Amino acid sequence: MLTLYFISFLYSVFCSEHLPENTIKSFSIQADTTVHYPQEKHLKNVQQLTFGGNNAEAYFSFNGKFLVFQSDYAKWGNQCDQIHVYDLSKIPDMNPRKVSTGFGRTTCAYFMPDNKRVIYASTHAGDKSCPPVPERKQGKYVWPIYQDYDIYLTDIKTGKTKPFITGKGYDAEATVSPDGKKIVFTSDRSGDLELYVCDIDGKNIKQITHQLGYDGGAFFSPDSKKIVFRASRPKTEQEIKEYKELLAQHLVQPTNMEIFTCNIDGSDLKQVTHLGKANWAPFYHPSGKKILFSSNHASQRGFNFNLFMINEDGTGLEQITYDKIFDSFPMFSPDGKKLVFASNRNNGGTYDTNLFIADWID
């Protein structure tokens, strides 16, 4: 999910999270106090949940009472992304519980079915310091594939943390199926960035994608039978060469991605979008027949990401949000009545990305 990297990339004229850390300050934005745009007919009663720093990838607990998310907010003692749990009975929860170790960099947290534990990726076992952010390669924006990322399991109440899915190289971007039986995650253990599915206890790991290119940010369908994800698919000789050269340096370029679906065993692989540019952060609509995702395909200059919805067969594209800079990471509550997402709206002209929650109107 590599979340907040994409947010800074956004400000770098093509869009995502820290370039060299303050590159985004070269991009001037005007103060905006909009919380809900009138065109956003699918959203009602929009509420802002956080008020500073970069906050992203907020995902509901199975009982719908909590969110787990990552934040670099310095006032919460974070030097880089750490995992927090937000109590939705306390909106706004101004001091959400930190559940990661506070060391290294973390990403991609998700609740376990018992609502008492979360899984997330962290680099802390390799180095307690925040890992460095890579510079652009030949003027192109890249994401780091930190080789110290492993997936950990943490008890929210006690803070007890233990390794959960580990191996050589990058293991991250884990999410849990709605039926509580499976986990999908991204790993480069095969030499490429592929999707893997395992049982809820982290055992019986199986690779389900096999094409050259980055496969990541995967989520299950409501019936737990399918997976939706973002993927790059280098095709020309030059694209393939560039992809492999970057991957050898543990980097990936996220500027050309489309949305795909497949069964949980990898069969029936289908490309949903053919929009060009960066299409990512997909999540199934409660019906299981539509997909929400973030995209900059309609932006002439590359930045400006909004949420869109599309039928599973690639028809019926519809714009959902209308922010001037960035909306992404949509997730429906387990009952399908709420939508949480991250946005640059109402940040007072700062570079902050905050979390918002709204009633969903079909």
pLDDT of residue 168: 92
pLDDT of residue 334: 98
24 has pLDDT over 60: no
pLDDT bucket at 134, cuts 50 / 70 / 90:
confident
More confident of the two residues 27 and 79? 79
**How many CB atoms are closer than 10 A to CB 165?**
21
Q: Which of 230, 124, 120 is nearest to 175 (CA)?
A: 120
pLDDT bucket at 129, cuts 50 / 70 / 90:
very high
User: What is the chain's length?
Assistant: 362
How far apart (Å, rounded) are the C-alpha atoms in residues 245 and 232?
Answer: 15
Q: Encoding tokens for residue 179?
A: 């039926």
**How many CB atoms are closer than 10 A to CB 359?**
14
pLDDT bucket at 302, cuts 50 / 70 / 90:
low
Q: Encoding tokens for residue 259?
A: 């949305």
Average pLDDT over residues 154-161: 97
187 has pLDDT over 80: yes
How far apart (Å, rounded) are the C-alpha atoms in residues 256 and 114?
Answer: 37
208 has pLDDT over 50: yes
Residues 6+ apart with CB under 8 A from 94: 51
pLDDT of residue 55: 98
Q: Mean pLDDT over all residues of the chain?
A: 92
Secondary structure (DSSP) of 250-315: TEE--SSBEEEEEETTS-S-EE-----SBEEEEEE-TTSSEEEEEE-TT-SSS--BEEEEEETTS-
pLDDT of residue 13: 34
- E-strand ranges in 302-362 read 306-311, 318-319, 327-332, 338-343, 354-360
Q: pLDDT digit string (tens) for 28-67? A: 456 678 999 999 999 999 999 999 999 999 999 999 999 9
181 has pLDDT over 60: yes
Q: Encoding tokens for residue 302?
A: 């590359």
Residue 7, CA distances (Å) to 85, 103, 305, 322, 333 in order: 21, 22, 10, 16, 23
**Structural domains of the chain, with CATH:** 4-360 (2.120.10.30)
Q: How far apart are the first and last CA of the chain?
A: 27
pLDDT bucket at 2, cuts 50 / 70 / 90:
low
CA-CA-CA-CA torsion for 316, 224, 71, 356, nearest 10 degrees?
Answer: 50
206 has pLDDT over 80: yes
The answer to whether the bond into 330 is cis (omega within 30° of 0) is no
DSSP-derived letter for residue 243 is H
